[in-house]
Amino acid sequence: MKTITKRQSQAGLTYFDRVLERRRAADPLVLAAFGRHVHFGIWEDPARADGSVADFVRAADALTLRIIEAGAVRPGQRILDVGCGIGGTLAMLNERFEQVELLGLNIDLSQIEQARHVVCSRPGNVVDFSVGDALRLPYADESFDTVLAVECSFHFASREAFLREAHRVLRPGGRLALSDFVPTPIMRLALWMLGGTVERIIKPSFGHFDLSYTLHTYHQTALRIGLRPVVIDDVTHGLLPTFPIWRRFIRYLLPDYYGMAELFTIFGWLHHLRLMRYMVLAFEKDSQQSASEAT
C-alpha cells in the first residue's frame, strides 16, 4: 500500500497525483497522453478509434472544443476555467482566440504549478492561475463572460453551490458550460439503494465522486438560481472508446491499487447501456439579471 501524503489526502485524487509525479519525472507515456488534458475524449466515429495515445489526445481535444463551443466563447471575453487541471483548456483558448483574459482556478497548487508551464499567453492575451475553491470563487460579482468546468463538477461537494457561484460571477448574458456524468433516474435510484458503496470504492483513488445528479436536477437547480439551460449535448456514444484506454492508463498509473482499472470496464458498460450518460451542458444568465437578484 502506498503512503498518501497530507496534500494528497486533502485533494483526494491519487490518480491525478500519480499523473503529476510521472510528468515531473518526464515519463514519455504520461507526457504523450496527458500533455495538456487529464480528462476523457470524444470521437466523431467511435468505430474508427484505434486505441493509440495519439488518437486519444485528439479525442480529448475534441471534447474540450465541444465545451468551448457550448460556452459560445468569442474574442475579447474574460473567461474562467474552474477545475483547470494542468491548463489544457486555457491553452486551447489561448491558441484560438484573441484579446481574451483567461483565468484558471484549481484547489491543488501542484496542478496550478504545472499549468503555468503548459500555457504561455500569446501577444494580446492574458493568462493567470489561482488556487481556490469552486464553491467560493475568489472573484467579484459579474466579472466573467464565460465560466467553464471540464469534467470536474462531480468532485465538488455541492453542484448547487457551484452553480450559484458561477451565476454570481457571470455577467448578464454570460454562459456556464461544463461536462459531467449524468445518471438516468433508474441509475440514480440504484446508487441511492447502494447507500454510498460506489463512492466508498472510488474515493481512495478518485476522490469525492458524486454520480447522483440527474439532468432534471441540473435543470431545476439552474432555473431556480437564474441560469437558463441552452445546450443539452449527449455525447455518450462518442465517448465509449475512452473507457478501455483509461483502463490501460489506470493500470499503468496505479498498479498497487487493486481493481481500480476494472472500474473503468464497469463504468464503460453503464454508459454503453445508457444507464449513465456523459453530457455537455450550458446555462445562460438572463441578460437583465444581476447576481444579487438570484434566489
Whether residue 224 is contained in a domain is answered as yes
Q: What is the CATH number of the domain that holds 158?
A: 3.40.50.150
Strands 144-149 and 101-106: unpaired
On whether residue 1 sits in a domain, the answer given is: no
Q: Would residue 28 count as lying in a domain?
A: yes
In a domain, 266, yes or no: yes
**End-to-end C-alpha distance for the chain, whole angstroms:** 47
- How many domains are there within the chain? 1
Any domain includes 295: no
pLDDT of residue 271: 95
C-alpha cell at 55: 488518437
User: What pTM value is reported for the model?
Assistant: 0.91
Question: Considering the domain boundaries, does residue 262 fall inside one?
Answer: yes
Structural domain for 192, as ranges:
6-289
| CA distances for 171 relative to 52, 144, 145, 227, angstroms | 41, 6, 6, 12
Give me the tens of pLDDT residue by residue for the chain, a chain 295 residues long: 222 233 333 345 688 999 999 999 999 999 999 999 999 999 999 999 999 999 999 999 999 999 999 999 999 999 999 999 999 999 999 999 999 999 999 999 999 999 999 999 999 999 999 999 999 999 999 999 999 999 999 999 999 999 999 999 999 999 999 999 999 999 888 877 777 666 777 766 677 788 889 999 999 999 999 999 999 999 999 999 999 999 999 999 988 776 778 888 889 999 999 999 999 999 999 987 665 565 5
Distances (CA, A) of 44 to 12, 47, 60, 131: 33, 9, 12, 35
Residue 290, pLDDT score: 62
- Does a structural domain hold residue 294? no
Per-residue model confidence (pLDDT) at position 135: 98
Tell me, yes or no, whether 223 lies in a domain: yes
Residues 155, 12: Cα–Cα separation, whole Å: 9
